[in-house]
Every structure is written in structure tokens, then in C-alpha cells.
Amino acid sequence: MRLSSVTGRLFRFVATASVSGLLLGALLFLGAYAYFAPQLPSIASLKDPKLTVPLKIYTADHKLIGEFGPNRRSPVRYKDFPPRLIHAFLAAEDANFFHHPGVSVKGLVRAAVNLALTGRKTQGGSTITMQVARNYFLSDRKTFTRKFREILLALRIDRRYSKQKILELYLNKIYFGEGAYGISAAAQTYYGETLDQLTLSQTAMLAGLPQAPSAANPLSDGQAALARRNYVLGRMRDLGYIEPNTYRKAVSEPLSAKLHREQIPVTAGYVADYAREHMLQKYGKKAYTSGYRVITTLDSRNQQDAVQALRSDLLAYDRRHGYRGPEATVPLPSSGGQLPVHRIRQALNQHPPFGGLIAGVVVEVKDKSASVYTLDQGTVQVDWDGLSWARPYKGPNARGPAPKAASDVVSRGDIVRLAPQSGSGGWMLAEIPKAQGALVALDPRTGATRALVGGFDFHQSKYDRVLMAHRQPGSSFKPYIYSAALHSGMTQATVVNNAPVVVPGGFDATWRPQNYERNFSGPTPLRQGLFHSLNLVTIRVLQRIGLENARKYVSRFGFPEKQLPDNLTLALGSAAVTPLQMARGYSVFANGGFLVKPHLIRKIVGPDGKTLYQAKPASACPSGGTGDGATGCAPRVISARNAYIMTEMMHGVIEHGTGRAARKLGRGDLAGKTGTTNEQKDAWFDGFNRHLVAICWVGFDQPATLGHYETGARAALPMWIDFMGAALKGTPESPPLEPSGLVTARVDPATGKRVHRATGNSVFETFRADHLPPFESHDNYAGASAGGSGSGSGAGSSGSSGNLERSLY
């Protein structure tokens, strides 16, 4: 009886204590809720969360060229999550996610018991919803107040949003290590795959990462990662998400994770940086985190062709002038000793790849070959074909003797550059060029930039020579002067004396310009003056039309008049201009006379997918109109007839003049002009057809001679040929459209006058119908009209005779 009484009293005590505890706990909870609830942040922002998504830059055909921002993230909608991905994360993080109210009481009790027994806050009992609350609104500090706020927020989130939305928020926010935020970025970072391409084993690996993105990282601790992956797979089996056979197959798979940085398939660092700077100025620092996308005007194929052409050209220039020696040296033990691989790799890490050239350390030198250790390729062999070019560099105008053995070129321990030999699979000794280059290509009808390369490698030098380098264009500027001459009444048959010119100057100084060949050929037609690039002819042309008239006229091509020299050196290209300005000017010839505005950005897309900006460039009128303000029509700045005749004259540069190396392309629709400045400090080739203008420049950033004979034809034209050959491959020829009001007539090139009958030297030339030259006075038909419609045997319409004329040049 006494035992029963004691038991009863004990039971009543325990019951009373339990009820009191519950009441006290409830009162504490209500008090804490009353205190913390007003301080909780609004969860309304989760409806459309502002995730930090990087700025991405693309070509016009949607190839990635740049990504800027602190985090890699690509948000994904719930409907695009594969079922096994959802199952893997539920198994790893929160099996009852779809059933609890945002908080797991069992999990919290388990965490409390663990804390009481160990004194450590190791098991937080966090549900997926609680992790959403923490990741979006709270810090990672492990405090009781933060935990309580987390619980309250989770309860609110669960009441406000669907389970699918909460899971979407979770998977797009959490950190997976290696700079990857969100499941899509993680799949790309560790496997280089999209979510639907992941295997079950790979999915389980990713699901195991959020709890320990460093400790269980497959890239740093394979054993820990494997154990965590297999735990997730076991949970998926136990929960009925996968069959036992599927489980056994998945756990038997080896680790396949590797670091996959998102590939940049198109090399366009200068354009990507231009777009980045534009976005930063327009939107501020949020441009890096808000998920903007910029679509440029670049054509990915043209861009890659431009990069290859420029790099090949500069490397060829370098080989012509000899080898400057190794970039550095690494002390190595005597031959036969063990290589200090760790020290070699440390040294090579200081010499990153530039322009496709990799660094390596020479570890063995034989008679006609060398073995070179590289970071990515291991030890490779460089045969004599890849070494024999390397005469010692003796300056831009001299080279040392040809090497006779590999030891004349390299020594053990040298840090050198290697380039792959095209076609052979072998390697060639190379070096990062000291000379620089630029290439820009425009669509002359719209001004859209199809390719832009501002230097050998953006990561080596961020100075964009297309947009920023103001250099003298030399003779490539002459077409603007000749266009002014046609406008003033001269024709391509007008004869100008190729004879010495002496220009008096102040303080008893005189200027005696010379032709590059230092020749004096006497009376010379304008056409030949251009395609032979005769300085003296161009100066006399400028004198005849007048300096001020010429400056005003040349400004029509987009050059500010104040940028043009107020003296006769204007004829020889002494103005400081950028390659982009030259591209704009040459576009006027290519499109039939319209001044278009070059542009690089086609479209800007906001975080919500809406277009924020769409380029609407004023274009060359397809009908050849006047450009007098019609909607979408660029201003006409020279006549269609002037542009056509100038294109014919520059076609002569390629057929018979300084650009004749371009004949190897086998096309009849190309026109252009070489440019070389004093002491060969700048080399240019500027050329086009009706659909593409390309400008190429080579020089040193600090102006210095490129060397004897490094003219535009030698230093820059090969770049243009390589680019245009690739860009126009497979495209039909597109000769200029002949406007009305032109006729062809037979002339004597010695006098520029018309003749009725063929003579040994007579040629056909194209003229404005209202501006035909007179007949030779001794011609049998001297009484015929000197102007008019061009009827009769000496002149034809703009049809068949025009075709005949083109066939003769």
C-alpha cells in the first residue's frame, strides 16, 4: 500500500512537472515569438529572388565570349529538375520535406539531445525550408537566436510558398564549392554537363556536397566524397527512390568529377571587356550580379578567323627577325640526374599561355632536337624543323647566323615558348611577339562589327589597338584624297606628273617628299598613281584640289576635321587615326557612299529575359538612295559613282599594284590599299568587298621601325589575306553594283584623253557620263563631241562595256 502511494505521488509530480515544463516552454516560445517576430525580414522577396547571376557576353550567334561576376550561377526552374535530382536531395537533406510544415520537430529534438549530451552544436536539425530561410535572410553564425529566427522564417515560408517553389529556391541558392552556386553551376563545374545529362552516381555526388562543400569535395578528398555519395545512394534505396540493383551499380562507379570551368568557345577578350565596361557604366556594379546578357554583333567564325590570322602574322614577323632567347631559366641537375619536377612546375606557373603559345622547360638538348617539359602536355619533342628558324636576333634590320645545331638555339633549363605546328602534330619553338597588331572587320551596310582583335592576346595586354591606338595610316589614307580628286572633277585617267616636289617651309626648311621606290616616272594616270602608291602623284593631286577643300571632303568619311593635318603631309597619311576609323571610312566605298556608324552591341537582355536595348543602326540604303533622312537610312556622303570608281581603282591595287599578293585568293571582287609610314613604323592593309571590310595594322606600341622592307604589303597584307580567305570561303563573289550614269571609254594612258581606235597602250576606263575626257586632237574623229552620252564606237553603255573594262584590269 505504501509503495502504491509513493508511486502515485511520483507520477503526479512527474505529470505536474511535465505540464509545467510544457506551459513554461509555450510561454517562452510565445514570448520569444512576440520579441523576434517584428524583427523578421519580409519573405515577399522570395517570390522573385534576386540571385547573384554573372554578366554574360555572347556573339551574335550566341557563343559565349565572356563572363563577369563574383559567383557562377545559372538559375533553373523546378519543372526542369530531373526527378532523380529531387529524390537525391530529399534523401540527403530532408526526406519528409513534402510532409512537414517547414520545421521538423523530430530533427530539432534530436539536435537538442545531441547538444545536451555533447555540448556541441553539430546537428542543426535544419530542413530544406530552414536552409532557404538561412541562405536568403540570415547569417551562418551558430547562435540560438539565429536558430529561432530561422525556425520562425521557415514556418512563414512554408505557409506562403509551395513546396516546389521552396525546392527551386534552395537548389538555385546553395553553395557547392569551387565557386559554384546553385545546382546548374555545380553540374557544369564538376562534370561539364547539364542537369539532364548527369548520371545517378553524379547526381548523388552533388546532393552530398552542400553539407560539406570543402570536406567532401571530390576534387580535394576523393575518399570522403565517395563515402558521402554512397550514403546518399543508400538513403535513396532505403526510401524507395531506386531499386537495389540500381543502387549496387551506382555505388560501383568510380569518381568522375573534374574541374570544368565554363568553356569560352570564342576568343574575343577585347570585345568582352568593351561590353563589360559599357554595362558597368550603364548599370553600375549590379551589372555583375543581376544576370544581364549582352549579345554583340560578332560573328563567331569571323572572330576566330581574325584571331588566327593576326597571331599567325605576328609570329611570322617574329620568325623573320630572329630569336631573342629564353624568357627565363631554371637550374637543373647535370644530365641524367632526377628532374626537380616540383620546382619546374612552380616556375612554369609564372609563365601562363599567351596567344596559343605554351611555356616549357628545356630538359634535354640533342644534335638536331630538344625535349621540353610542359605543364599540360608533359615532355614533348621539338625537331629541327621547329628550331632551325631561330637565328639570333640582332635588331629589326639584321639577324645572326643560321643555327647549325639545337645547342645554338636552346640550353637545358631554358624556359621557352612552343607553338603547335599545323598539320604535322609536332611543336615549334616560338616567342611572344614584341610587335603588336590589330584587325577589325565591319559589315559595311550596317556598321556591325563582325570581328575585332585588339592585340596578340588580351590577357597579355589589355590595350585595345582597334579602338585606342591612334597611328599614322600612311598610303592607306590615299583613297580619301583620290575620292576628293574625283569629286573635284578629275578622273582616274587624269594624268599627274610623277616628279620631284619641293615644298618651302619656315626657317629656311624645305620638304622634299619621295616615293618609296625613289623613282620618277613622269606623267602618270591617277589610277596608276594609286595602285603603285606614288607619294609624289598624291601630293600633286592634293595641291590641285586645295588643302582646305580636301580636309573638308575627307571629313565626310567620319574623320573630325581637326584631326586632319593642315599641310600637304595629309596626302601621305600623317593623320593619327584608329583602325576602327579607317574601317568606317572604307565602308563608305564598300557600301556605295553611305557613312554608317560602327557598333559592337546588338542587344541587351535583362534578368527577366526582357530586351532592354536593341540596336537599330542607320544602314546603307539598299536602293542606293540619297540618305536624306529616310527612316533607317544612313547619310550619303559621296556619290555612288564616286564610290564605284574608287572601288575599281582599289581593285587595281590588288590586280596590279602593291596588294597583288591578294590575287592568291582567286576572287575578282576584292579592293584595298597598302599603307606604310616613314621608317616602316606602321604597316597597314585596308580592304573590302561589298559585304565585308577588314582593316589590318602591325607596329610597335612605342613607335619604332619594324625593319627594312616591312611594308604594308609584307607585314600586314598576309594577315588580311588569311582573314578574308577564311571569312569569304564558300561565298559567291559580290562585285560592286554599278550605278547609272557611268560609261566606259578607251583612253590613251599617256595623255588621259579618249581615242576611237585601239592602240598599243590604250585602255578602257570608267567615267561619269557627263564628265568624259576630250578626244586626242590628232584622232580621226577629233570633231566628235568631247562630252555627251558617250555614244559611238569609243564609248558604251554601263552594261557590256563595263564588264569588258573590268576584265582588262
Residue positions annotated with a catalytic role: 93, 475
How far is residue 367's CA from residue 96's CA, in Å, rounded to a whole number? 72
Is residue 307 within 8 A of residue 267, CB to CB? The reply is yes
Name 578's Cβ contacts closer than 8 Å, sequence gap at least 6: 466, 467, 468, 469, 470, 471
Which amino acid belongs to residue 474?
A: G
Q: Which residues are bridge partners to 511 per DSSP?
A: 503
DSSP code of residue 631? T
How far is residue 702's CA from residue 302's CA, in Å, rounded to a whole number? 29
Name 149's Cβ contacts closer than 8 Å, sequence gap at least 6: 36, 39, 40, 133, 138
Q: What are phi and psi of 766, to 5 degrees?
A: -100, 135
Q: Cα(first)–Cα(last) distance of the chain, in Å?
A: 131
Q: Which residues of 391-422 are buried (b: 16+ CB within 10 A; e: fewer)?
A: bbbeebeebeeebeebebbbbbbbbbbbbbee
Q: Is 380 exposed, middle or buried (0-12, 13-18, 19+ CB in 10 A)?
A: middle
Is residue 755 within 8 A of residue 775, CB to CB? The reply is yes
Name 249's Cβ contacts closer than 8 Å, sequence gap at least 6: none
DSSP code of residue 679? G
β-strands 671-676, 682-689: how paired? Answer: antiparallel
Packing angle, helices 200-207 and 183-191, rounded to 10: 120
* Residues constituting the chain: 809
How far is residue 70's CA from residue 183's CA, in Å, rounded to a whole number? 17
DSSP code of residue 100? S
Is residue 674 within 8 A of residue 685, CB to CB? The reply is yes
The set of cell numbers assigned to 236 is 535513396
How far is residue 215's CA from residue 50's CA, in Å, rounded to a whole number? 29
Separate counts of helices (H) and strands (E) for the chain: 21, 24
Name 295's Cβ contacts closer than 8 Å, sequence gap at least 6: 58, 59, 60, 62, 601, 602, 603, 604, 605
Is residue 313 within 8 A of residue 716, CB to CB? The reply is yes
* Sign, CA torsion 159/164/168/174: positive
The set of cell numbers assigned to 411 is 640550353
What is residue 354's three-state secondary structure? Answer: strand
Which amino acid belongs to residue 217?
A: N
* Sign, CA torsion 6/7/12/18: positive
How far is residue 171's CA from residue 132's CA, in Å, rounded to a whole number? 9
**Which residue do the cell numbers 570581328 mark?**
451
The set of cell numbers assigned to 520 is 620618277
How far is residue 82's CA from residue 84's CA, in Å, rounded to a whole number? 6
β-strands 55-58, 510-511: how paired? Answer: unpaired
Run of H or E including 799: none
Longest dimension (CA), the chain: 155
Closest C-alpha to 313, from 587, 731, 724: 724
